[in-house]
Amino acid sequence: MKFFKKHTANLITMTRVIFLPLLYYFVDQDMRGAFLMTFILVGSTDFFDGLVARKFHMISKLGKFLDTVADILFYFSTAYFFYEFFPQYLIPNQTLFIIFFVFYFGSFIVSTIIAKRPIMLHTSLLRLNAVFVFSLVILSFLMPTTYILSAILILFMIGLTESILIFIFFGPVDQDTKSFFTLLKRYFEEFRFEIRID
């Protein structure tokens, strides 16, 4: 019981990975209703794991690592699901999609060079984009989303550019850094404090 209390947030995170094969099965069988309900439940764990971790002080390095792994697996799988169900919206965005992957892997390369390990930051913009991707899949069952997908891919590229700039200018930082401007503000506040002391 103690284990569950201590690792509740991590267990919620892991459900995002554990239920992925079920989503693949629903896609393979073209079970759209079952897929949509399960996708909503599984995808919502991305919100609840962070909420539980913050509220009950369960934030840990392990939790951040598991969250990153779960996010990568879930959102890469989401790209596959989207392609299987809605190629008509994805194909017009093929070029943007390729550019997005260049930025995505570029952010991992830069973080690996600077921080000696691949890091996916959870900036405010990238978190918002994750919500957009989640919503995109749901919306695509109801309406055409070609242009919405274009906007999300562009926003993702902006968010990944911000991540790359954070690593270049500030080096290894906390994964939950909110933005480049938050770090810049903190830097200038520390700089002013040092000037006052001198």
Task: Judge whether residue 175 has pLDDT over 90.
Answer: no
Nearest to 99 by CA among 156, 28, 31, 148: 156
Return all residues near 118 (Cβ < 8 A) that are at least 6 apart.
108, 111, 112
Per-residue model confidence (pLDDT) at position 193: 58
Which two three-digit tokens encode residue 2?
């103690």
Task: Judge whether residue 192 has pLDDT over 70.
Answer: no
Task: Judge whether residue 103 has pLDDT over 80.
Answer: yes
Return all residues near 3 (Cβ < 8 A) that are at least 6 apart.
none
Angle at 74 between CA 98 and CA 99, to 5 degrees: 10
- Which pTM does this prediction carry? 0.84
Which two three-digit tokens encode residue 13?
């995170």
Confidence grade of residue 1 (pLDDT, cut at 50, 70, 90) = low
Mean pLDDT, residues 100-105 taken together: 93
pLDDT tens string 36-93? 999 999 988 877 777 676 776 667 777 778 888 888 899 889 999 999 999 999 999 9
